[in-house]
Amino acid sequence: MIKLQDITEEELLYGSLACAGCGGIIALRMALKVLGKNTVLVLPAGCLMATCGFFPQMAVNVPLVSTAFPSTPSTVSGLVAGLKVKGKEDITVLGVAGDGGTADIGLQALSGSVERGENFVYICYDNEAYMNTGGQRSSETPYGAWTTTTPVGRNKMWEDKPKKDLLRILAAHNIPYAARTSISHPREYMDSVRKAKETKGPAVIHVLAPCPSGWGTDTSKTVELARLAVETGIWEMAEYENGKYKVTKIIKNRKPVKEYIKAQGRYRHLPDEEIEKMQKQVDEYWKAMS
């Protein structure tokens, strides 16, 4: 596994206009550290593009091809093909999109690029809502969360669906490599990025990247919350490789889900019985998985 000491000091992402403590920026910065300068980055609409690619604040130091919101994977496809005919197949093509850009409006294109078996790395930084537009529900918004389109009013309307399971959807594509990981675990995450780079064919990483602004949390807690998600068992670290789904981190003594929920503004309204229901679901999931 990657050692922090060995990681390059070179920064390819520097000076973004993101909120203080943005988890998405951490995800992108770490990934670029592994992939290095010989990378082309694709960013669609979303917080990262909005905060890293606005003139004159150009925070990314690899070629960045920005694209339309639904088009990250297909822009990746075009770059892969273009670099191939230009004899530059050694360049890593990296698509990075949010949960909305990946699991909602970009899913079809992603499925297509994966199915065609193109050679690329794709990272979905998951902050569990459409954050760039102010925090609307996406299909990755977890059960119980408040968003601006699942407001909490007289008629209860908080999000009532579980998260879309991106990793299993990719596994169903029999993708060469995919992982579910978290910015709180840099070694594991960066190791996934390295594997993804080395994979011949499509490789997709789904990384939890909390958003202090959207989650209603202190900017200093971004990493801590991501870690809590793992330690409570809410966020499973897993990989799909060689046709196999594998849990990559088994938490011995899972922390109570409540600890995670109570730390966040977006769950403020949740009655305790809902939290207990969530705890039960988590417990059942892990029982079933072991």
Ligand X SMILES: Cc1ncc(C[n+]2csc(CCOP(=O)(O)OP(=O)(O)O)c2C)c(N)n1
C-alpha span between 231 and 273 (Å, rounded): 21
Residue with tokens 């407001």: 151
User: Three-state DSSP class for 127?
Assistant: coil
Compare residues 91 and 122 and give the one whose CB is closer to ligand X.
122
- Binding status of residue 53 toward ligand SF4 by CB under 6 A: no
Stretch that binds ligand X, among 94-102, 156-164, 235-243, 260-268 (CB under 6 A): 94-102
- Binding status of residue 173 toward its own copies by CB under 8 A: yes
Q: How many CA atoms lie within 13 A of 195 on its CB side?
A: 21
Partner that binds at residue 31, options its own copies, other proteins, ligand X, none, CB closer than 5 to 8 Å by kind: none
At closest approach, how far in Å is the CB of 105 from other proteins? Answer: 4
Partner that binds at residue 131, options ligand SF4, its own copies, other proteins, none, CB closer than 5 to 8 Å by kind: ligand SF4
Output the six-digit token pair for 65: 């091809």
| 212 touches 19 (CB < 8 A) | yes
Compare residues 139 and 181 and give the one whose CB is closer to ligand X.
139
Burial class for 241, CB neighbours closer than 10 Å (0-12, 13-18, 19+)? middle
According to DSSP, the β-strands at 57-58 and 202-208 are unpaired
> Which residue of 120, 130, 240, 267 would you call a contact of other proteins, by CB under 8 A?
130
- Of 34-93, binders to other proteins (CB under 8 A) are 37-40, 42, 45, 49-51, 53-71, 73-79, 81-86, 88, 91
Which stretches within the chain are classed as H helix? 23-35, 47-52, 72-85, 99, 107-115, 166-172, 186-198, 212-215, 222-231, 257-262, 272-289
Residues 6+ apart with CB under 8 A from 237: 180, 181, 182, 185, 188, 230, 247, 248, 249
C-alpha span between 240 and 159 (Å, rounded): 28
> Which residue of 124, 137, 232, 233 would you call a contact of other proteins, by CB under 8 A?
137
Alpha carbon separation from 45 to 5, 100, 289 (Å, rounded) = 34, 10, 36
Compare residues 47 and 91 and give the one whose CB is closer to ligand SF4.
47
> Which residue of 41, 47, 223, 230 would you call a contact of ligand SF4, by CB under 6 A?
47
Quick note: the x/- pattern for its own copies over 114-153, rule CB under 8 A, is -xxx---------------------x--------------
> Which residue of 154, 200, 244, 287 would you call a contact of other proteins, by CB under 8 A?
154
User: Three-state DSSP class for 283?
Assistant: helix
Compare residues 215 and 282 and give the one whose CB is closer to other proteins.
215
C-alpha span between 216 and 21 (Å, rounded): 12
- Binding status of residue 196 toward other proteins by CB under 8 A: no
Quick note: the x/- pattern for ligand SF4 over 110-139, rule CB under 6 A, is -----------------x---x--------
| 139 touches 261 (CB < 8 A) | no
- Binding status of residue 264 toward ligand SF4 by CB under 6 A: no
> Which residue of 100, 106, 214, 233 would you call a contact of ligand SF4, by CB under 6 A?
214
Q: Which residues bind ligand SF4 (CB under 6 A)?
A: 18-19, 22, 24, 47, 51, 127, 131, 211-214
